[in-house]
Structure 1
Amino acid sequence: MKKLIFLWVFALVSCSSSKFDKVNGVSFVSSGEEAAQHHIDPVLKVSANYAAIMPFGFIRDMDAPELVFNSDHQWYGERREGVKQYIEKLHQNGVSVMVKPQIWIFRGAFTGNMKMPSEEDWKRLESSYEEFILLYAQLAEETQSDIFCIGTELKTFVNERPQFWNDLIQKVRAIYTGKVTYAANWDEYAGTPFWSELDYVGVNAYFPLCEKETPTIETLTEGWQPWKTKMREIAEQVDRPILFTEFGYRSMDFTGKKPWLVDRNQMDVNLKAQADATQVIFDEFWGEDWFAGGFVWKWFMQHDQVGGHEDNRFTPQNKPAESVIRKQYSQVKKSSL
């Protein structure tokens, strides 16, 4: 009888593992100050087991080859010393980390369209970018961070310079022993050429789902189906799980129409649309064995001062979507019973 009970429990846990054994992450936004315990406590309160830490490098124009990073002119949390302090503070609290260096182009121009005007400029960019990435790959190894992301939404750079990226992956692997991914934009990932060299197919999951002002659960679910089918096919083709390196929705009308919008529009606040869209993404993906989890975009350190019921931006903080995230992420703890 005891043996039968054991086998039943084992089967139950095995069947549930794909649902619970996930990256339940937040994208932890850099700040001008050190991370203190009161900054980490809200992350723990939503039961996140991962945080993405994002040091930035800055480029003046779409065709400028010089990347400025780890500079005294940057915020503390955007520099190496701040990134290290954030990681160590999160690790002290049992939160795993993905180190995710990113480029910011002046005035927020889209990094996917960045293109150099000459071979000389491409080589200058490559040299600068490699230095940027390897600096943080070394830090990721030093701090024993679990995942390292080699780039974010750099479609043209990837397509125009494939040999550079193949070489970069090998150089990262030579100094970093954890898992490696790349954060491809939702309309880029299917053509990204080097997934078999990485550990995850990283996707920034801002897929358009519907054009309704306040989409229903059913409409959002239906909107996901073709995208979900394609991601499953890619995961099977390259034999790598999908990881949502970013996912999330703005708390505004038409949130499922163009989820990637970062403009400061005056669209009416719609808290229900954000909460429902967040719930659907959990319902559709967190139970799939080819899916590794993801990082909510985005989570600010000053929890009490951000988000709220008048905010139409991405953060779920102090909104109904935060409760949706907490309910989902807290389930991971039940799997250890």
Structure 2
Amino acid sequence: MRKFFGLFAIFLLSACAMAPAKPEKINGVSFVSSRDTINATHIDPVVNIHANYASIMPFAFIRNIDNPEIHYNRNNQWFGESKRGVKQYIESLKARGIKIMLKPQIWVARGTFTGLIKMEKEEDWLLLEQSYADYILDFASVAEEVHADIFCIGTELEGFIDHRPEYWKQLITEIKKIYKGKLTYAANWNEYDRTPFWDQLDYIGIDAYFPVSDLKTPTVEACKLGWVQHKDTIHAFSKKYNKPILFTEYGYRSVDFSGKQPWRSDRDMTVVNFEAQKNATQALLETFWNEDWFAGGFVWKWFHDAERTGGEDASQFSPQNKPAQAILRDWYSKY
């Protein structure tokens, strides 16, 4: 009998050794800040969709695109955007096994696109550079303190980068003196191929709002066909720098024509179309998640109060309590 159990144990070990390893991907959610602390009630839904990463996004604010003053960590901001709140969120998520990308980013008043930020005077450029360095280095210190797995140095700041590339290269050098983990930058989908500092970072980060279909309700196959050219270009770019691709944001609104201009957040787009969001999401996951040069991504976006998110009239990006959530859960469970 003892011999039998010994042979059985050897068989089990051999079977486990022969089983194919589960590929590792960053199955991420863009975890939206709130007024409140978070607890297990808010984290359980993240765990339940098999997410293993969360992007924490402490926003800073500027008045307009030619104003050099960046404001952050202020008393009138939501708790989750403060340094204290960021630490509480990260500690709570890490306690449940969720890894972290800390992704500080700017919000321009009235929602103006951050890529348009541009100063008219040299003195204002210098003020912007100092203000941004204060902001990003402060949160680089937070990232190091909480042992964040990835630190994102900026989001969709193409105008700032185009006009001041040497500043950014020096900023990365300063960040590395503080934070010792992995670095990326969240380039807009039509910006990443001219971002000048990928050789200094660990991931090529892309906010993946590529147009993939003009159909009112795009099918999975139509979206996959729409990805072909983009995918080939992205793959070639990955090989050029020998860096993995990370979708620092990806996702679709639950509206008609969701794959046509996926970056649009206009409030006049109110016709709900869950099928469009579901199909576009499935096509993206099928197109990229099996590729060894693709690191994974962070779905845009995930709210802490899951029970109150989504619903029949929900036309925004979050997949929560919509058919797209089941697609996400199914794919994330494989990696």
Q: TM-score range by the shorter chain?
A: over 0.9
Cα offset, 1:77, TM superposition: 0.6
The residue that corresponds to 2:139 in the other structure is 136
The residue that corresponds to 1:13 in the other structure is 20
The residue that corresponds to 1:97 in the other structure is 100
Equivalent pair of 1:309/1:318 in contact (CA under 8 Å): no
The residue that corresponds to 1:27 in the other structure is 30
Alignment map for 1:181-260 (pairs within 5 Å)? 181-260=184-263
Q: Does 1:124 align with 2:127?
A: yes
The residue that corresponds to 1:281 in the other structure is 284
Cα offset, 1:10, TM superposition: 5.6
Equivalent pair of 1:256/1:277 in contact (CA under 8 Å): yes
The residue that corresponds to 1:261 in the other structure is 264
Change in 2 beyond 3 A, CA 1:240/1:10: farther
The residue that corresponds to 1:335 in the other structure is none
The residue that corresponds to 2:3 in the other structure is none
Structure 1 residue runs of 4 or more that deviate by more than 4 Å after TM superposition: 2-12
The residue that corresponds to 1:46 in the other structure is 49
Change in 2 beyond 3 A, CA 1:322/1:150: same
Q: What SS does the corresponding residue of 2:321 show, helix, strand or coil?
A: coil
Tell me which amino acid in the other structure corresponds to 2:108.
I
Q: Does 1:110 align with 2:117?
A: no
Deviates more, 1:323-332 or 1:238-247: 323-332
Cα offset, 1:265, TM superposition: 1.6
Tell me which amino acid in the other structure corresponds to 1:277.
A
Larger Rg: 2
Query: Equivalents in 1 of 2:204, 2:269: separation in Å?
Result: 34
Q: 2:86 aligns with which of 70, 83, 95?
A: 83
Q: Where does structure 1 lack aligned partners over 5 or more consecutive residues?
A: 333-337
Tell me which amino acid in the other structure corresponds to 1:222.
L
Q: What SS does the corresponding residue of 2:267 show, helix, strand or coil?
A: coil
Identity of aligned residues (%): 51
Q: TM-score, normalised by structure 1?
A: 0.94
Task: Show CA shifts across 1:271-305 (max 9, x none).
Answer: 01111111111110000011000000000011111
Q: Where does structure 2 lack aligned partners over 5 or more consecutive residues?
A: 1-7
Equivalent pair of 1:158/1:192 in contact (CA under 8 Å): yes
Number of equivalent positions: 328
Cα offset, 1:8, TM superposition: 8.9
Cα offset, 1:107, TM superposition: 0.2
Tell me which amino acid in the other structure corresponds to 1:283.
E
Cα offset, 1:220, TM superposition: 0.5
